[in-house]
Chains A and B, each alone.
Chain A
Amino acid sequence: MALLEVRGLTKSFGGLVAVKGVDVAVEQGKIVGLIGPNGAGKTTLFNLVSGFLKPTSGKIIYDNKDIVGMKPHDIARKGLIRTFQLATVFAPLTVLQNTLIGLHLGARVNTVGDVFAFPTVVRRKSELNKRAEEILKFLDLLTQKDELASNLPYGYQKCLGLAVALAANPRLLMLDEPATGLNAEECQMMMERIRAIRDQGITVLLIEHSMNFVMGLCEWIFVLNFGEKIAEGSHDKVSQDEEVIEAYLGEGWSLK
């Protein structure tokens, strides 16, 4: 079953058409890749699906409902969580606090009870703390939980972004360049983690430039170029597609 289906999605900014008539289907429980040269419209597609941008035309069907026009925070409430290409964190807050904000959706904490320290609320908050720490442990950030996010090196900040996204209890997790900036070893670990995330029942759609990463991880791949879909399929099919190879010639694969 396709958890996410995009039909004829188009976005133009004045004269520039960033995304043109794109059809994408992401099957539940799979890891799907979205690749293409720089400027192909991948992040724009993410922004459209997650509600950060309004499409010019087309349909976005998530969980059998057309979500075009929904506010981004409402889309997130439905379990569609995206990360950002540039590491995005709550800089003046600690790693743990960052994650706790991510847990916002499932928090069920009554603010009045919070202010007056009702015991049920205090208990619930400590449960949330534990859940946050579990997530940080999964991403090897637990030791830094009291560190200010702004003090983390860039790679760790991206990891934190992933922690915040995971905390929001996603059904469909959209990762924008999760491996960019990571070395070979870290890339491997990230691949493991994404598989573990998938094994927990979360569908993953990711944008990435590193071909090893995508080919090694993704069960289905969509290729965009100049805003249009030029190929889709398994990694064998896509890596041998002529149009795909041509699109990347001169751009350079990043081979690791």
Chain B
Amino acid sequence: MIRRGLIPVLLVIVCALLPLALTSGFHFNLVIMVFLAVIYTVSLRLVLRSGLLSFGHSAFIGIGAYASVLLTMECGLPFLVSFLLAGVVSAVIGGLVFYPALKVRGAYFVMMTWGVCEVFVAIYKRFQIFGGTQGIWGVPAPEIFGFEFVGKIPYYYMAFILMLVVILICYRLEKSRFGLIVRGTATSEELSVSVGVNIAWYKVTNFAIACFFAGLGGSFLAHYIHLVDAETFGWFFSERIATYMLVGGGGSIWGAIIGASTLSLLHEFWRGATEYGMLLHGGLLILTMLFLPQGLVSIPAVLKRRGISLKIFSSKKVAGNGAS
């Protein structure tokens, strides 16, 4: 029986060594996109932990992208500075947008975030500083301390490291006192307030942190594909990330990771045979929700309940879909 703790280490080693085995640019791109998907999904999950399903995450990825592009191209700031500032800008705007909406819950929150998403897209399209409907092309490659990103490998490792950092911080945040209280506020606001928890502060900060990571991801994306296009940051993108998270299983960070990696890979494969691919994708969403409402990550637990134990994993209590 493989010890559960060994699996992440093995995965990290495999991913670190993967570039030796990959040959085509297509494959590199695939894996980089998976890393990005994991970053988006894991950061979205932070918001889910506070009891809210957000369909506006792409807005904050977009803010990061546009901010980084404008800071490098218009203000001439070095990449690393723009990259980090992009995260900060996204976090600040995220907090500002979220704060007045604290009282909005459930499906209304979903709709609201979706609206916010589309408002930002409309703004990008309308104003020339964001490139209008054409977007901004020719975004420069990152340059860190004189080292310019050429070929796929630098992007690969940056995405990989960024993903690891995001996963680690989100994981530790979850286990921290801060994370526990956020979970508490999602569960019972009354009780939290009665022991002095300032719910607004915790929820807004939590949301801002999620937006920070989204912004970093957006910045990387922009400098990787060398363009920003308003339409990409619309509702569809948010919806994809949300489905990655919920299909994988919102109850644990592994759910987000598994959902993001498997579904984004599937998505890339479908690109060719679009209709049939998307048909299957849709079918997958439907079937998962009907038969595995806790997500893919609950497969071992479900199988165990039905008497089949997968000997390689030890089962773990999956406590709900993360937001009750």
Chain A residues in contact with chain B, CB under 8 A?
50, 52, 71-74, 76-77, 81-84, 88-93, 97, 100-102, 104-105, 107, 109, 111, 114-117, 125, 128, 148, 161, 164-165, 167-168
Q: A76-B193, A90-B188, A115-B173 are in contact. Are A101 and B319 (CB under 8 A)?
A: no
Candidates B187, B188, B195; contact of A104 at CB < 8 Å: B195
Cβ of B181 under 8 Å from chain A? yes
CA distance A168 to B196 in the complex (A): 8
B259 to chain A, nearest CB (A): 20
Cβ of B158 under 8 Å from chain A? no
The answer to whether B324 and A73 have CB atoms under 8 Å apart is no
CA distance A84 to B192 in the complex (A): 12
CA distance A167 to B181 in the complex (A): 14
B43 to chain A, nearest CB (A): 15
Q: Which residue of A lies closest to B173 (CB)?
A: A115
CA distance A116 to B176 in the complex (A): 10
Q: Which bucket holds chain B's interface residue count?
A: 20 to 34
Q: A100-B180, A115-B172 are in contact. Are A72 and B191 (CB under 8 A)?
A: no
CA distance A128 to B319 in the complex (A): 24
Q: Which residue of B lies closest to A102 (CB)?
A: B195
Cβ of B81 under 8 Å from chain A? no
CA distance A111 to B206 in the complex (A): 12
The answer to whether A101 and B184 have CB atoms under 8 Å apart is yes
Candidates B169, B180, B194, B324; contact of A115 at CB < 8 Å: B169
The answer to whether B187 and A92 have CB atoms under 8 Å apart is yes
Cβ of B197 under 8 Å from chain A? yes
CA distance A105 to B177 in the complex (A): 12
Contacts of B203 in A (CB 8 A): none
CA distance A165 to B193 in the complex (A): 11
Candidates A82, A107, A128, A148; contact of B194 at CB < 8 Å: A82
Cβ of B320 under 8 Å from chain A? yes
The answer to whether A107 and B177 have CB atoms under 8 Å apart is yes
CA distance A105 to B196 in the complex (A): 6
Chain B residues in contact with chain A, CB under 8 A?
169, 172-173, 176-178, 180-181, 183-184, 187-188, 190-199, 319-320, 324
The answer to whether A90 and B184 have CB atoms under 8 Å apart is yes
A-B contact pairs, 29 of them (CB 8 A): A52-B193, A72-B194, A73-B198, A74-B196, A76-B195, A81-B194, A82-B194, A84-B190, A84-B191, A90-B183, A90-B184, A90-B187, A90-B188, A92-B319, A101-B192, A101-B195, A104-B177, A104-B196, A104-B197, A111-B173, A111-B176, A114-B172, A114-B176, A114-B177, A114-B178, A161-B191, A165-B194, A167-B195, A168-B195
Contacts of B188 in A (CB 8 A): 88-91
Contacts of B190 in A (CB 8 A): 52, 84, 88
CA distance A136 to B94 in the complex (A): 39
CA distance A90 to B51 in the complex (A): 13
A122 to chain B, nearest CB (A): 11
CA distance A70 to B177 in the complex (A): 26
**Contacts A82-B194, A90-B187 supplied; 4 other A-B pairs, CB < 8 Å:** A90-B188, A101-B197, A111-B173, A167-B195
CA distance A52 to B191 in the complex (A): 11
The answer to whether A116 and B172 have CB atoms under 8 Å apart is yes
CA distance A179 to B324 in the complex (A): 29
Candidates B172, B180, B199; contact of A101 at CB < 8 Å: B180
Candidates B172, B178, B195; contact of A105 at CB < 8 Å: B195
Contacts of B193 in A (CB 8 A): 52, 72-73, 76
The answer to whether A125 and B177 have CB atoms under 8 Å apart is yes
Instruction: Please name the 10 residue pairs, one residue from A and one from B, whose CB atoms are nearest each other, closest first.
Output: A76-B196, A114-B176, A168-B195, A115-B172, A111-B178, A105-B196, A101-B184, A77-B196, A90-B187, A109-B177
The answer to whether B191 and A89 have CB atoms under 8 Å apart is yes
B91 to chain A, nearest CB (A): 15
CA distance A125 to B178 in the complex (A): 12
A177 to chain B, nearest CB (A): 15
Contacts of A168 in B (CB 8 A): 194-196
Q: Which residue of A lies closest to B178 (CB)?
A: A111
Contacts of A89 in B (CB 8 A): 188, 191
A167 to chain B, nearest CB (A): 7
The answer to whether A50 and B194 have CB atoms under 8 Å apart is yes
Q: A89-B188, A92-B187, A101-B184 are in contact. Are A84 and B177 (CB under 8 A)?
A: no
